[in-house]
Structures are given as C-alpha cells and as structure tokens.
Amino acid sequence: QSVLTQPPSASGTPGQRVTISCSGSSSNIGSNYVYWYQQLPGTAPKLLIYRNNQRPSGVPDRFSGSKSGTSASLAISGLRSEDEADYYCAAWDDSLSGPWVFGGGTKLTVL
Amino acid sequence: EVQLLESGGGLVQPGGSLRLSCAASGFTFSSYAMSWVRQAPGKGLEWVSAISGSGGSTYYADSVKGRFTISRDNSKNTLYLQMNSLRAEDTAVYYCAKDQALVVSPAGGMDVWGQGTTVTVSS
C-alpha cells in the first residue's frame, strides 16, 4: 500500500491529452513539492517534473505538472507512442522517519 | 555527462549480507545528497535510504532500518549500501540516484538515476 495514490492504469490515443493523478495528505503533497518520474520498459526512472511544475532541460513541454491541496497531476499533451511507460509521483513526507514516498505507479498505454 | 554505475548485486541466501556500490562521474559528488531506491519484480518504486553530501546525515525507510547502512566515500566518488540480515522481500533492482541538493530536504529530489543492480535473496 503506497502512501501516495495513483490510478494503476491510464490510456489515450496519439495526439490526445491525458492526465495522471496523485493523491496524498497534508504531510506530503499538502506541504511539500511533488516530483514525477517516467520509467520506460526495462529502463531506469527518469525525472520528468520537479518542484510541482518544473521541467528539467530536455523534457518536452508536452509534459506538465500541477498541484492543488493534497493532490497533484501530470498532464501529457500530444500523446505519442513513445510515451507508453510507467509514471510515478513522489513527495517528501514530514510524518515519516524515512522522508521520501512514491505513488504505486500508473501504466500509460497509447492505443 | 552525469553518470551513475551500480555494482555488487547478486544472489544471496536469507540472512546473508551484500554491499552495493555506486560509482559517480560527471559532477562534484560531494556537493549532492544521494539516495538508494529499489523496485521489486513487477512492483513500484520504494525509497530505501539517503545520505547528505558530507555523509553526516543519513535516513532510512522503516523496512530496512537496523539492517542496511548507507555510506559514501567522497574521495572515491562512490556511494555504498551495506545490506545485512537480508530477507526474501529485499529482492529487487536497486538504483542509486543523485539528489538536486547538498542536504536531504524537500526541495531536493532525485534527478539522475543509475541503471540499477539486481539483488536476489533466495535459498
């Protein structure tokens, strides 16, 4: 049972816009930054969004992040086949001795 | 180019020990906190441990506290994870990850990941 809650799956067709949600609590998302990672099949995770809505250099602006209260969302516009991957949210949690927590991950399928 | 290369994984019996290493290059290693994150087969990501850039502060997930020890040698640009009293549930790919800050803090976050090393705990 992950501290952050994500839907296990999401899907969309090429060109479509999809969003992936991440729900937490006041001790994590509600009071700290949210990070998003993309994990392509058989590869290591890659940072997609940091500090709620910042994109590292090299990440296309098709990817965007937002946060409201104790929830966050990752939006992918202009969906492409290469976006098919697992997506994870993460946040710092003030109430735990081990500070970083992840969502359970969302498998995005491009139909 | 920032690179992280893990090593030291393998097959170990329950109750055994293993030491993972992560060789870093392409950045000033001592200026950044580092973390270990694991992924059990077919499962999601689980943060395991973190250490500040100086090595003076360490953090552990409850699931590994008292069994795992994180450390670093800034003169060798290398991060370590000593794993003792291993259990079947420790079976996973272990990733090392660079933080965006010197200290382990909410404003940091893991920005670069290695390719991982596989640990299998089985008799």
The mean pLDDT value of chain B amounts to 96
Q: Are B119 and B39 in contact (CB under 8 A)?
A: no
pLDDT of residue B50: 95
Mean pLDDT confidence for B91-117: 93
CB contact under 8 A, A50 and B100: yes
pLDDT of residue B104: 86
pLDDT of residue A85: 97
Mean pLDDT confidence for A36-43: 96
Mean pLDDT confidence for B78-105: 96
CB contact under 8 A, B62 and A97: yes
Per-residue pLDDT of B5-41, as tens digits, reads 999 999 999 999 999 999 999 999 999 999 999 999 9
Q: Are A51 and A66 in contact (CB under 8 A)?
A: no
Mean pLDDT confidence for A5-14: 97
**pLDDT tops 90 at residue A10:** yes
pLDDT of residue B108: 86
The mean pLDDT value of chain A amounts to 95
pLDDT of residue A96: 72
Contacts of B51 in chain A (CB under 8 A): none
Q: Which of A99, A28, A31, A60 is nearest to B99 (CA)?
A: A99
Mean pLDDT confidence for A14-31: 96
What letters, b where the CB count within 10 A reaches 16 and e where it falls short, cover A34-59? bbbbbbeeeebbbbbbbbbeebeeeb
Contacts of B94 in chain A (CB under 8 A): none
CB contact under 8 A, B65 and A45: no
pLDDT of residue A95: 84
CA B76 from chain centre, in angstroms, equals 16
Mean pLDDT confidence for B84-91: 98
**pLDDT band, very low/low/confident/very high, at A1 (cuts 50, 70, 90):** confident
Per-residue pLDDT of B39-86, as tens digits, reads 999 999 999 999 999 999 999 999 999 999 999 999 999 999 999 999
Residue of A95 and A34 predicted with greater confidence: A34
List the strands of the sheet with A18-23, edge to edge: A18-23, A71-76, A63-68
Beta-bridged to residue A11, according to DSSP, are A109
CB contact under 8 A, A92 and B106: yes
pLDDT of residue B105: 85
CA A36/CA B69 separation, integer angstroms: 27
**Cβ neighbours around A21 below 10 Å, total:** 15
